């Protein structure tokens, strides 16, 4: 699978996006990351492995803790990819705008 697919797949889970959001406030241990969710430790471990394979986090070692930190670089590719479609969602607004104008015309 290509990098972009792996990234999108990693982002397709709300728990994983919440973990990323938490990591914007700074590094955190696995325990800290798992606190907001009522799922088991191993489940969190799996999510972290998915994020790590997608290159979205990196993990260090400090005694018995394995602190995670955000690495947002793959998200730039996501942003660039999405931005290429901007003219199409803009186009929809343009079309809607045209429709509304037409309706006003017909009203008169």
Q: How many residues lie near a second copy (CB under 8 A)?
A: 29
Nearer to DNA, 62 or 105 (CB): 62
Nearer to a second copy, 4 or 39 (CB): 4
How far is CA 43 from each of CA 15, 32, 39, 64, 90, rounded to the nearest angstrom?
A: 10, 14, 6, 19, 40
Position 75 contacts a second copy (CB under 8 A): yes
Nearer to a second copy, 20 or 44 (CB): 20
**Residue 40 binds which entry of a second copy, DNA, none, with Cβ cut-offs from 5 to 8 Å by kind?**
DNA
76-81's contacts with Cβ under 8 Å and 24+ in sequence apart are 77/3, 77/4, 77/7, 78/4, 78/7, 78/8, 78/11, 81/4
Among 39, 43, 82, 98, binds a second copy (CB under 8 A): 82
Helix (H) or strand (E) holding 49: helix 41-53
Nearest-angstrom CA–CA distance, 53 and 4: 12
Nearer to a second copy, 31 or 95 (CB): 95
Helix (H) or strand (E) holding 38: none
Instruction: Return residues touching a second copy (CB under 8 A).
Output: 1-2, 4-5, 8-9, 11-14, 17, 20, 24, 70-73, 75-76, 78-79, 82-83, 85-86, 88-89, 91-92
């Amino acid at each position: 699978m290509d990098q972009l697919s792996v990234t999108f797949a990693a982002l397709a889970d709300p728990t994983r996006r919440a973990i990323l959001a938490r990591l914007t406030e700074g590094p955190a241990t696995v325990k800290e990351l798992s606190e907001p969710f009522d799922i088991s430790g191993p489940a969190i471990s799996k999510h972290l492995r998915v994020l790590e394979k997608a290159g979205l986090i990196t993990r260090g070692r400090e005694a018995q803790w394995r602190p995670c930190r955000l690495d947002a670089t793959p998200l730039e590719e996501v942003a660039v990819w999405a931005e290429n479609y901007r003219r199409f969602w803009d186009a929809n607004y343009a079309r809607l705008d045209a429709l509304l104008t037409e309706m006003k015309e017909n009203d008169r």
